[in-house]
A and B are shown apart, each in its own frame.
Chain A
Amino acid sequence: MLVLVKYGPENPGERWKLEAAVSTDQIVLIQNGIFWAIAEPETLAGKKVSVVQFDLEARGYPATACQWPLVDYAGLITLMEENPKSMS
């Protein structure tokens, strides 16, 4: 299942999603969802995570600020095609 996270750690819905995600789920941090990687990376431990690079850089963070793979929009579409089920 593709898990799209677009809000940061202040959002209870996103926290619920991340708790629910299992190791085989593909999590994508998009928009303000990138703040999980910056402010609360421990929540993502053991999970399969990708981060939308444009959203990271638009918020002033270099690619090196993030320990997870970065994707561009084409990469995001590929992940969506690979995971027909979604939680968004």
Chain B
Amino acid sequence: MKKVLFVIYQAPAGSIWPNEGFRTAFGMYADDVEPEVLLIDQAAITLARETEPKKLGLLSIKMVQKYIGKYDTKVLVEKESLQKFHVTDLDEAYQAEVLSRAELHARLPQYDHVVFM
């Protein structure tokens, strides 16, 4: 089974990429692929409890939580990005693992493909 890491770096309010990143990852379960999702830079705010593009009338990001739970999708977030954007209250429904940049870099060789979105 191939392992694919989807890396999202844009904020969920103002770009569709966090939603698309999760959606693409969930779609991988139809094939022989094990997906994981990594949030870096502005995308780290996706995991904040109060972040919800629906407040602007945009597509909800919280909707992905249902499928994270259903498929047990691994979600990673970069510690330095959380600090940079002052995210301290993480929504536990994302089941995210916080890793440092160095830890993430060391982890990359285990993936067959790393896809930035």
Contacts and interface: CB of A to CB of B under 8 A. Distances in A.
A1 B9 contact: no
Chain A contact residues (Cβ within 8 angstroms of B): what range?
A: 10 to 19
A20 interface: yes
Contacts of A20: 104-105, 108
A19 B40 CA distance: 13
Interface of B: 7, 9, 40-42, 101, 104-105, 108-109, 111-116
A19 B104 CA distance: 11
A86 B9 contact: no
Of A13, A14, A88, most buried by chain B (CB within 10 Å of CB) is A13
A36 B108 CA distance: 22
Nearest to A3: B114
B114 A12 contact: no
A66 B108 CA distance: 28
Nearest to B8: A13
Nearest to B111: A85
